[in-house]
A and B are shown apart, each in its own frame.
Chain A
Amino acid sequence: MYNVAIIGAGIGGLLAGASLAKQGKKVIIIEKMPYLGGRFTNLPYKGFQLSTGAVHLIPHGNRGPLAQFLQRLGLSVKIEDCKPWCTFRIRGKDYLINDVSDFNPIINLFPLIDRLRMAKILFEVKLLGLPSNEITLEEWLKNQVKDELAVKIANAFYGFALSLHINSIPAGEGILILKRVNDCKGSGVPIGGCKSIIDSLVKFIELQGGKILTKAKVVGVDIDNENITKLHVESDQISEVSANFVISDIGAKETVELVGEKYFDKNYLQKVESISPSAGVKINIASKKSFFKNGILFTPDCQRIGGLIELTTIDPSLAPQGQNLIISHQPLLSTDIKKEIEIGLEDLKSLIPSFDQDCEILLIQSYHNGWPVNRAASGLDIGSVTPLKNLFLVGDSVKEPGWIDTEGVASGVEQILEYLSKIFY
């Protein structure tokens, strides 16, 4: 009998497992794949460290919830800040943002009337709080700033960071995300890629006596009196697991499917049904030449690509010697994936005129339909607590407001740990 069984060894499951193991709980983590880390680990290919999902970015660097979480565990993962944080390429010209709180180089591109409006918005947000989540960020922004450059810049930023068009981001959530970026002062890259974080979590869990299974798929559960009493597992090692508490890192919809809809009330099922994921395309490029030396490059002039980063300027170990690794990201805006990829490639060729001579496409990766960028698009997350008494959710369908990607996952795990510490004895 375990204190806690965790379904799925993504970053969410591993963060939860590490904390609980540190508290002395008997923990088992059950992962269906042969590798750990889910959509946040390295995928070695042709000598490059590509990834199973993430662009190898820690959105808020050393100051965000993920890095803080790792620090509290006592793990020493090296996260190198992007310096400068980013650059915006607008009408062919690069505008460096050295300090996250100083967007003046970009603001100065707007007509005076818009600049005055922006100052007014800033004041209003500070004084009156965030805009409503009832309207989209696009509607809200268009009401305030007239120059269409604003929409382009916003779509580049949110397209890269969240894999969403601003017409599907609630306004309040969108602004809260910006505030978090501002508070945390920029992004970072874990040296060695996402896998360095996963490896240190795994080592920590095992040192604390936690058990981690791979190639072990949870295929069903037994339920008694609104409690999960047993997990059924397909693996060479074990066929069932019992635990006082179950934490699921496989997504809210997937968890409901696994447990069985009939155990959840209508209200909850409706909530789960309303979560919509974010979808996207990542293009991995190798080049002997270096093109982008100034942090994340946001690309408002592109049709689809929101931004890209030449990761080897920060961590050369992600590519073979003498090679550079560039990764671009774009939201998936239609169901015609091939077309979307083609447009992404056109964008790349406009950003790198010598693309055909100097660059090799390593891998094009699309994420949607049950294996998305984020299981809940920002602002549409569901809470950790479920109608089943001993079942809780972690991962990217339960992020805390305003925290994006793995920062959201870490802050969500933090919340549920606090909750559990109150009922655990």
Chain B
Amino acid sequence: MVIINESRCVGCAHCVPFCQMSAITALGFAKIDLDLCTNCKLCLNYCPKNAIAEG
């Protein structure tokens, strides 16, 4: 499972386009819809703040 570290996330939304499942939305902070997320972990590479981690 991937989780967003809310104290690191700035809401820049870089991760959003890289999720093929459209599981991430960003409104000040990123949120992952776990029903859509396939746990591919691609988004981890695209966060400049290192705010997405494996939970």
Contacts and interface: CB of A to CB of B under 8 A. Distances in A.
Interface of A: 33-34, 38, 43-46, 50, 52-53, 215, 337-338, 340-341, 363-371
User: Which secondary structure dominates chain A's binding surface?
Assistant: mixed
A371 B27 CA distance: 16
Contacts of B2: none
Interface of B: 10-14, 16-17, 26-29, 45-46, 48-49
A34 B46 CA distance: 7
A369 B28 CA distance: 12
A91 B17 CA distance: 37
Given A34-B45, A338-B28, A365 B12 contact: yes
Nearest to B51: A371
A38 B49 CA distance: 12
A364 B13 contact: yes
A43 B12 CA distance: 11
Contacts of B48: 33, 38, 52, 371
A363 B16 contact: yes
A366 B46 contact: no
A363 B10 contact: no
Contacts of A46: 17
B45 A371 contact: no
A52 B28 contact: no
B17 A33 contact: no
Contacts of B17: 43-46, 50, 363
A365 B49 contact: no
Given A337-B28, A366-B10, A366-B28, A371 B16 contact: no
Contacts of B14: 43, 52
B16 A338 contact: no
B27 A367 contact: no
A363 B28 CA distance: 11
A45 B16 CA distance: 9
B46 A363 contact: no
14 contacts: A33-B45, A33-B48, A43-B14, A45-B17, A53-B12, A337-B11, A337-B28, A338-B28, A341-B27, A363-B26, A366-B28, A369-B10, A371-B12, A371-B48
Given A34-B45, A34-B46, A45-B17, A367 B12 contact: yes
A363 B17 CA distance: 9
Contacts of A370: 10, 49
A215 B13 contact: no
Contacts of B49: 370-371
Contacts of A38: 48
Contacts of B26: 363-365
Contacts of B29: 337
Nearest to A364: B27
Contacts of B45: 33-34, 215
Contact of B13 (A34, A44, A365, A369): A365
Contacts of A34: 45-46
A366 B13 CA distance: 8
A38 B17 CA distance: 16
6 nearest CB pairs, A to B:
A337-B28, A366-B11, A45-B17, A365-B13, A338-B28, A371-B10
